[in-house]
């Protein structure tokens, strides 16, 4: 089977979602582990909004993690990523959308950005007051909603699927900002996130992701290769100076 090409750093929750789905399906891949802020105009030709991930296979070029994962589910046999029942399938798509938009808006673009991206990419001092406000005011309503949506045991629709991964992937990044759901206040959310992040396919990526988080961006491709990530022969990483994309505050 010809490997697919995935463009984007495995530290991204959206790239993580795609790679875990490929692993569940047993589809081989190569990765160009770029940080989109450090790309040039060549990357805009495959990702007009300069967003990751991008999937490339032959003449096919796809952007947006959900579009990519639904393509993977339809194009390759094996482990189902979405349930077969139409109502369950629609519900899975909704929870995936909620994770990619509302959860990401707070856990990724607010919390993770303030704690890690702003200091490491933009050279901004970490705003401790902003971080406390995000944790105390912005996050609790999201967890209250999820507490009523997630299962007490197992995964959302039986086997681990796209919606499970989408939700837990955002909490993985929140963990690097030293946040995890309080199990006494949100026991269902905390248990669900722990189950998904403890799945063998997800755990297999953890050492690589942690290593990349500790590595300067300029060295991350080398470190990813040293940790066994199959790399592309070329890279879209061009710039040494970060520049925001047209949708920097969106997925």
Please report, for the chain, how many H helices and E strands are present, in that order: 12, 4
Q: What is the dihedral of CA 73, 234, 206, 140, to 10 degrees?
A: -70
Phi–psi pair at 201, nearest 5 degrees: -70, -35
Residue 124, pLDDT score: 84
CB-count burial class (<10 Å; 0-12, 13-18, 19+) for 101: exposed
Longest dimension (CA), the chain: 50
For every one of its 251 residues, what pLDDT tens digit does the chain have, with 9 covering 90 and above?
A: 889 999 999 999 999 999 999 999 999 999 999 999 889 889 999 999 999 999 999 999 999 999 999 999 999 999 999 999 999 999 999 999 999 999 999 999 999 999 999 888 877 888 899 999 999 999 999 999 999 999 999 999 999 999 999 999 999 999 999 999 999 999 999 999 999 999 999 999 999 999 999 999 999 999 999 999 999 999 999 876 777 766 554 33
Residue 247, pLDDT score: 53
85, two tokens = 């029942």
> Which of 127, 121, 181 shows the shortest CA–CA distance to 150?
181
- Other Cβ atoms less than 10 A from the Cβ of 161: the count is 25
- Other Cβ atoms less than 10 A from the Cβ of 213: the count is 15
Residue 251, pLDDT score: 34
Angle at which helices 13-25 and 162-176 cross, to 10°: 140
Residue 120, pLDDT score: 80
Sequence length of the chain is 251
Q: Which domains does the chain have, with CATH numbers?
A: 4-80+202-226 (3.40.30.10), 86-201 (1.20.1050.10)
Phi–psi pair at 63, nearest 5 degrees: -120, 165
């Amino acid at each position: 089977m010809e490997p697919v090409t995935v463009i984007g750093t495995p530290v991204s929750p959206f790239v993580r979602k795609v790679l875990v789905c490929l692993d569940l399906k047993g589809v081989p891949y190569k990765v160009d582990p770029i940080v989109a802020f450090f790309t040039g105009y060549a990357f805009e030709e495959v990702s007009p909004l300069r967003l990751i991930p991008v999937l490339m296979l032959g003449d096919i070029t796809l952007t947006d993690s959900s579009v990519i994962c639904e393509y993977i589910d339809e194009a390759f046999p094996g482990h189902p990523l979405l349930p077969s029942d139409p109502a369950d399938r629609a519900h899975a798509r909704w929870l995936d959308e909620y994770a990619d938009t509302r959860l990401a808006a707070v856990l990724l673009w607010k919390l993770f950005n303030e704690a890690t991206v702003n200091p490491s990419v933009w050279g901004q001092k970490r705003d401790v007051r902003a971080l406390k406000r995000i944790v105390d005011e912005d996050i609790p309503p999201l967890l209250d909603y999820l507490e009523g949506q997630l299962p007490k045991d197992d995964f959302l629709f039986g086997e681990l699927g796209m919606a499970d991964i989408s939700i837990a992937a955002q909490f993985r990044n929140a963990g690097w900002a030293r946040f995890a759901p309080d199990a006494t206040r949100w026991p269902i959310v905390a248990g669900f996130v722990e189950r998904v992040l403890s799945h063998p396919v997800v755990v297999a990526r953890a050492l690589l992701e942690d290593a990349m988080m500790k590595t300067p961006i300029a060295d991350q491709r080398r470190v990813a290769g040293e940790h066994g990530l199959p790399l592309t022969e070329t890279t879209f990483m061009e710039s040494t100076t970060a520049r925001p994309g047209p949708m920097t505050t969106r997925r």
